Amino acid sequence: MKILVLGSGAREHAIILALKSEGAGHELFVSPGNAGIAADANLVTLDQLDGGAVASFANEHSIDLVVIGPEAPLVAGVADTLRERGIPVFGPSKAAAQLEGSKAFAKRIMDAAGVPTGRAVRAASITDVEQAFDDLGAPYVVKADGLAAGKGVIVTSDRAEALAHAEHYLPAGPVLIEEFLAGPEVSLFFLSDGDTVRALSPAQDFKRAFDGDAGPNTGGMGAYSPLPWLDEQFGSEASFVDLVTEQVALPVIRQLDAEGTPFIGLLYAGLILTTAGVKVIEFNARFGDPETQVVLPRLRTPLSQLLLAAASGTLEDQPAPVFSDDVAITVVLASEGYPEAPQTGRQISGLASAGAVEGVRIIHAATAGPDAPGGDLVATGGRVLNVVAVGSDFTDARARAYDAIGRIGLDGSHYRRDIAASVSE
């Protein structure tokens, strides 16, 4: 197929590598992409928020499938324009993408669908915020209602810090004050064609910047898959997936369909395993980052087959996706100062050496080409690279990942050293 992927980060690079690994001879286009993606696909220049421009390119180049990676084009309605012109697209409509674009919308859908989640209060003023803090108690969970590039959430026992976070986002609209939920977190992806869902393998990510879950929340500093400890509580991964499918994914998909906004694309369920059962922390309307980087390398069913079936409304004809028994971990290399004030423009060295480690692939999140031929790439953002390692067990995979990331040079950079440490024995 001819496939166009929209996006510029590690998630999109992981999708491209999964499509490329099928060996089916797909012709792959990415806009805008990055320096690492350029080695695996054709980069094109498009305004990814302009549905008309994306549709025109797709028609001119006979694109068979468009895959929308980031949330911004979804919330902007790019998928709607493509569907109106008869172009198969993997990604929900503008209306359905509000499941991620508005935390308040997501809470309303969950309530209507009977999906288990924490209590939440919509606060339009500091007075409302103070009242919600009094009602729900500490630790305080404050979420920007709209998109905030993974930085709109704070969880803290410091009331002043929580208030400052709310004050920062209130000028843009109401914020959500939520009940604090305790327990291990799980990310679970569901492909949906608006009616049928197919689950992928669970993953766990690491949001805090530093080892031991210290420091500020980030877009994600690492992840691993599968989650062997699910067996202890649920008997098997399959049993856990079945439970979440029945209690979370299908009710939400059916509610959206009943409201005339069918969800076609990737439903990302951010879950927490509390003493009162599995509850939803949040939904996203696209592949998660960095979980995609560890889920897709284990996928044995062709990704293109699943994405096209979802886009075409034929997912019910697809059996459950098959995954390898291998494990995967990813460690994120971040720029100095990330997440508050990342330093960019610095050179990156050692990529060839790191990529030569057995079982390792280097996935680019924010890189640009060298200033001169043969020079080093440079970092252009906070999360710069993902080192992904696949192995027979977590001890093997961790050894490979940390061997590889130790070979990469980026002045001032940092990474967590405890990714998947708890499952590596």
Looking at residue 147, its pLDDT comes to 64
Check if the beta carbon of residue 198 is closer than 8 Å to that of residue 318. Answer: yes
> No. of H helices and E strands in the chain?
15, 23
Assigned token pair, 300: 């044995």
Interval 146-187: pLDDT, tens: 665 555 788 889 999 999 999 999 988 888 898 899 999 999
DSSP code of residue 245:
I
Distance CA 177, CA 131 (A): 10
Looking at residue 373, its pLDDT comes to 67
Interval 352-395: pLDDT, tens: 999 999 999 999 999 998 866 677 899 999 999 999 999 999 99
Looking at residue 153, its pLDDT comes to 81
Check if the beta carbon of residue 334 is closer than 8 Å to that of residue 395. Answer: no
Interval 239-253: pLDDT, tens: 999 999 999 999 999
Distance CA 418, CA 425 (A): 13
Q: How buried is residue 303: exposed, middle or buried, by Cβ count under 10 Å (0-12/13-18/19+)? A: buried
Interval 190-231: pLDDT, tens: 999 999 999 999 999 999 999 999 998 899 999 999 999 999
Interval 89-141: pLDDT, tens: 999 999 999 999 888 899 899 999 999 998 888 889 999 999 999 988 889 99
Looking at residue 371, its pLDDT comes to 67
Looking at residue 401, its pLDDT comes to 98
Q: How buried is residue 154: exposed, middle or buried, by Cβ count under 10 Å (0-12/13-18/19+)? A: buried
Looking at residue 101, its pLDDT comes to 85
Looking at residue 291, its pLDDT comes to 98
Q: Is residue 5 within a helix (H) or strand (E), and if so which, with residue range?
A: strand 2-7
Looking at residue 149, its pLDDT comes to 55
First CA to last CA distance, the chain: 42
- Which of left, alpha, beta for 200 (phi over 0: left; psi -120 to 50: alpha)? beta
Give which of 114, 116, 161 is closest to 141, Cα–Cα: 161
Question: What mean pLDDT is predicted for residues 383-410?
Answer: 98
Provide the mean pLDDT of the chain.
94
Looking at residue 148, its pLDDT comes to 56
Check if the beta carbon of residue 82 is closer than 8 Å to that of residue 48. Answer: no
Interval 22-65: pLDDT, tens: 988 999 999 999 999 999 999 999 999 999 999 999 999 999 99
Q: Which residue has the tokens 């766990």?
A: 204
- Strands 42-43 and 120-123, by their bridges, are unpaired
Interval 310-323: pLDDT, tens: 999 999 999 999 99
